[in-house]
Amino acid sequence: MKRLSRNAARLFALFTGFIVLLGIGGASASSSYIVPNGLYDISNVPKGFFVNPDGTPNVKIVVGSFSSAQDVASAADIAAALGSILYKEEEAKDISVVLRKSGDISTVFQQVIYRYDYNTMTVDHNLPYNSGLVGWARSYDELPGDYWYNGADYTANYSTWMKSFSTSFSVKNGDSVNGNYLYGWNIAIRSLSLLPIDPADWNGVAPPKQADVEIPSRDMVVSVDYTLYNYTVETEKVIRDAYPEWGVPEKTAVANESRMGNMVDVLLDTGSNATVKNVVSPGVGAGDEFTLLGTKYLVFSVGHGSFTAGEVLGTGWFPQNKSAILGNSPWRITLIGADPLKETAIVTVVNTKTGELYGPLVLKLGEPANVVVNGDTIELQLKLEAISENLVLGKIAKISGYSNIKTYTSGSEIEYGDQKWLISVDSDGQYIKKISLTNEDELTGNPLDILGVYTVKYSFDMKSLNEKDVDFDINRDGNITDTSFVVAKATVTILQNSPVINETVVAVGDRIPGTDYVVAGVQGLKKVVIHTPTSPITILDTEVNFANPSSNYILVGSNKDNLLTSMIFGHYHLPVDFRVWFGDYPVLGYIPHCSLLGDRGVIVVAGSTPKATREAAVILMQYIAGLS
């Protein structure tokens, strides 16, 4: 028989493939691979072929002794895909239920700054019961100007109140170092004033009906202490319940509870006799990631009274020839190419806000590259963290990004939102100990947002009551007339923006707090038990035990590369010249019960070239993923 020409062989392969796809040989539903005549399509392979009921693997992947590197990589990818289905679902036991209730907005500070009523007249102003109350105000215009709070009584005027107002408060767990949110804030407001919405409607005597709150420049300071301590607090624990029917009292004992936090936590726990035991961390050093008012930074170096850091944009994997945004930044990165051997990647970067294009840029593994520089500030720095080759996506690169990299020294400015703040740095050349921010801009509004965490609000309320309506001589002039008298109150309140979340953990048998319900059980909850293989899944064709096969088999590689594939094709009288019969198509076939291997199941993953075999492996991986 004459050898077929190359073109004739291709035409014959296409014709054979067409017949197979028509169904004569059991074609793939997706029409993306060849199923050799006499074998089944892999869509008939059950999940039990790959995994036992207990979640352990039920298959071995066989690589030929003469396989190419691509065949080995294909086998490794199939093994990785199997990991997604190696698990067992069990009825969950020892379940706890978290009950979560969103509470009210927490009030951090509240001060009535003006109060005009019966109490402030008779107590703060010592007005006599009779004649002193005759001049009780009947309208807003008659409200007196000396009922502002002076720190002790409601006897000041607006100017005195404004000069004497100040407050400070602390909050736990405001910032983090390397992901640990253990660093609280100290916030001080040194002064505060009111800006009436309608200045013509306010004469500076009584409180304005509507006004913005204004914190003048440099009158608000936020401090974060980055030294972390171990400390103890005294807590009272019940060691014996009370039994009143027998006259047995409750018995308690004082215990020392260990806690961790910065000086804010220690000071907030002083009521429990907090005692510092030792320093856990002296501060933030080079290489650490920390947050300042919620913004994450990476520290590059620490000086005396200064540090160099940049905002962390995030890290992502970027497939070749595809664009993606880096984290939540405006920077869109496209990976043009990557060379694992040279450890380099080529990218372009687009600022989605301005449309400006940067690059192409060559990134070297582990070496930071400054992409956009503006004066002393690096607006964008990229770092190639890793290069890999994904079977589905192709070459991929792991890239990290940082922005606004600059040196911060005491007295320099930092922007938070649209506000400017002056920074003060306490550092010793090795560690950042403390950072304080003071507002450079005036902060104005009602409500007035503070750092996205707190809100300052001003409110004014005035009510009137008619003597005849209550049949009472309100102003004590000896007569009950058809006259209304007013009371008024102005308040400054600092609120936490997000509501307090209260959580309670209950287990089966516990009573749900505040109700008569008991948790009787939990239905429909499964526990997933992951099974990691304890013996190799991938083996060589020479390692298969024909006498006592212990699993099903996935054969990777053509009959030229894999002895077991060659034996299977010979036993089932299948074509042995892949180039003639199958061309460059990927080949996949399923044998439910192979007599050569003790009736075990077999899947053939092959092709006339390693590239075609790799395509077949991708299709099998996708099928396995659909079983999970």
pLDDT, tens digit, 9 for 90 and up, residues 144-202: 999 999 989 999 999 999 998 998 888 877 788 998 888 888 899 999 999 999 888 89
Local structure of residue 298 (DSSP, 8 states): E
* pTM score, whole prediction: 0.59
| Residue 118 reports pLDDT greater than 90 | yes
Phi, psi (degrees; rounded to nearest 5) at 251? -120, 130
C-alpha 448/C-alpha 437 separation (Å) is 18
Count how many residues are written for the chain. 628
Cβ–Cβ < 8 Å for 566, 559 = yes
CA distances from 426 to 24, 225, 434 (A): 80, 9, 5
C-alpha 605/C-alpha 603 separation (Å) is 6
- What's the pLDDT score for residue 322? 83
Helix 69-82 vs helix 610-625: crossing angle, to nearest 10: 0
CA distances from 439 to 189, 306, 310 (A): 10, 19, 21
pLDDT in tens, 219-247: 999 999 999 999 998 888 888 889 999 88
Cβ–Cβ < 8 Å for 601, 552 = yes
219: helix, coil or strand?
A: coil
pLDDT in tens, 465-515: 999 999 999 999 999 999 999 999 999 999 887 655 555 666 777 777 767
- Where along the chain do the CATH 3.40.50.12090 domains lie? 6-90+530-625
Q: Which of 322-336, 414-428, 452-466, 513-527 has the lowest mean pLDDT?
A: 513-527
- What's the pLDDT score for residue 182? 85
pLDDT band at 438 (very low <50, low <70, confident <90, very high): very high
- What's the pLDDT score for residue 171? 80
Cβ–Cβ < 8 Å for 345, 387 = yes
| Residue 25 reports pLDDT greater than 50 | no
C-alpha 30/C-alpha 99 separation (Å) is 48
- Tell me the two tokens of residue 284: 């933030």
What integer best gives the mean pLDDT of the chain?
A: 85
pLDDT band at 321 (very low <50, low <70, confident <90, very high): confident
C-alpha 625/C-alpha 392 separation (Å) is 13
Please tell me which residue, 511 or 454, carries the higher pLDDT value.
Answer: 454
pLDDT band at 22 (very low <50, low <70, confident <90, very high): very low
- What's the pLDDT score for residue 619? 92
- What's the pLDDT score for residue 303? 96
- Kindly tell me the burial class for residue 289, based on how many C-beta atoms sit within 10 Å of its own C-beta (0-12, 13-18, 19 or more): middle
| Residue 571 reports pLDDT greater than 50 | yes
Mean pLDDT for 130-153 is 93
Place of tokens 């080949």: 587
Residue type, 7: N
Cβ–Cβ < 8 Å for 621, 78 = yes
| Residue 91 reports pLDDT greater than 60 | yes
pLDDT in tens, 243-259: 999 888 999 888 888 88
Write the CATH number of the domain with boundaries 6-90+530-625. Answer: 3.40.50.12090
Cβ–Cβ < 8 Å for 438, 220 = yes
95: helix, coil or strand?
A: coil
Buried b (16+ CB within 10 A) or exposed e, 50-75: bbeeebbbbbbbbbbeebbebbbbbb
- What's the pLDDT score for residue 390? 61
- Kindly tell me the burial class for residue 588, based on how many C-beta atoms sit within 10 Å of its own C-beta (0-12, 13-18, 19 or more): buried
pLDDT band at 5 (very low <50, low <70, confident <90, very high): very low
| Residue 15 reports pLDDT greater than 60 | no
Residue 597: alpha-carbon gap to chain centroid: 50
pLDDT band at 346 (very low <50, low <70, confident <90, very high): very high
199, 193, 187, 195: which is closest to 216 by C-alpha?
193
Phi, psi (degrees; rounded to nearest 5) at 372? -130, 125
The upper half-sphere exposure of residue 219, i.e. CA atoms within 13 Å in the direction of its Cβ, equals 19
Cβ–Cβ < 8 Å for 614, 565 = no
CA distances from 255 to 134, 229, 269 (A): 60, 19, 14
Mean pLDDT for 2-27 is 35
What sign results for the dihedral spanned by CA atoms 572, 573, 576, 577? Answer: negative
- What's the pLDDT score for residue 323? 87
Please tell me which residue, 571 or 402, carries the higher pLDDT value.
Answer: 402
The upper half-sphere exposure of residue 214, i.e. CA atoms within 13 Å in the direction of its Cβ, equals 12
- What's the pLDDT score for residue 97? 67
| Residue 19 reports pLDDT greater than 60 | no
- Tell me the two tokens of residue 478: 């000896």
pLDDT in tens, 31-65: 588 888 888 999 889 999 999 888 888 999 999 88
Angle value at C-alpha 252, between 249 and 255, nearest 5 degrees: 175
- What's the pLDDT score for residue 44? 86
436, 426, 437: which is closest to 282 by C-alpha?
426
Q: Widest CA span of the chain, in angstroms?
A: 133
Query: What does the DSSP assignment read for 527-563?
Result: EEEE---SS-SEEEGGG--SSS--SEEEEES-TTT-H
Mean pLDDT for 321-338 is 90
Buried b (16+ CB within 10 A) or exposed e, 593-612: ebebbeebbbbbbbbbbbeb
